[in-house]
Amino acid sequence: MPELPEVETTVNGLRGVLQDQRITLIQTRRADLRRPFPVDLGQRLTGAVVTGLRRRAKYGLIDTDRGDTMIFHLGMSGRWRVDPGETLPHDHLIVETADHRLALNDPRRFGSLDLVETGSLAAYPPFVAMGPEPLGPDFTASYLLEALRGRIASIKLMLLDQRIVAGLGNIYVCEALHLARIAPMRAAGQVSLPRLDRLVEAVRIVLAAAIEAGGSTLRDYARPDGELGYFSRQWRVYGREGEPCECGGIVKRYAEGGRSTFWCSKCQR
């Protein structure tokens, strides 16, 4: 599933072709993705000017001058294609401006697209209980210390909880915990403030590097320009079971919460 860096990369790519552009056509080529498309999508957005593009957790937001925001989630296999040479069977939504044609392609249809009044975004159900952005100013060691106080669940699972921090996924949590030298199975409430400070810095370093690299290539993910992300070449532990860690230890794997966790028992404590 595309994670925060993949969505950030997607939004950055769309910004170059949609910012300040007037939408001339909205066409749905089926009734739904994971949920039905808004029935008034074309009526509300045709003729609207895109005033901004941003990200919240793993969602992309496209703001317009009509006070509406289109919210998209890429699901397992979704991606935007910019100026495609042809329309493919899984291009389920077409957006056109005077200069560009964009197609939202989603073979598995686990993605979603909603239209919400911009002023009501805080009440959008997935956003209501969402924690702070990991790249934002509210994500600090002091915040984590309070949020995790008394928690016996592992630090790995707590970082994946969107109520604790928004947008972190399995790959980047594994990578950040390794960089911060924290064992993923350690009880979250037992991680000290100095370690949490190290963890916050590690999360930001890993996410920034992944965004710069265009994300990680997993299954069907590609950037809007069609290029593949290459952060997977920089993975420290993820997907590297049995390989040597930079510290001289061996990368191990275990399953928790339905996900594989990769770590090094020598340098992560």
Any idea which residue has 């956003």 for tokens? 127
For 93, the token pair is 């939504």
Question: Are residues 59 and 11 in contact, defined by beta-carbon separation less than 8 angstroms?
Answer: no
Q: Active-site residues: which are they?
A: 2-3, 58, 259
By the 10 Å C-beta count (0-12 exposed, 13-18 middle, 19+ buried), 152 is classed as exposed
**How much is the CA Rg of the chain, to the nearest whole Å?**
20
Q: Which of 162, 181, 159, 158 is nearest to 172 (CA)?
A: 159
- Cα–Cα dist 199/205, whole Å: 10
Q: What is the dihedral of CA 34, 226, 213, 220, to 10 degrees?
A: 40
Question: Are residues 23 and 96 in contact, defined by beta-carbon separation less than 8 angstroms?
Answer: yes
Q: Give whole-number Cα distances, 133 to 17, 166, 264, 266, in Å.
A: 25, 5, 27, 30
- Cα–Cα dist 144/234, whole Å: 27
For 195, the token pair is 């370690």
Q: Give the number of other Cβ atoms within 10 Å of residue 255's Cβ.
A: 8
Q: What are phi and psi of 118, to 5 degrees?
A: -55, -40
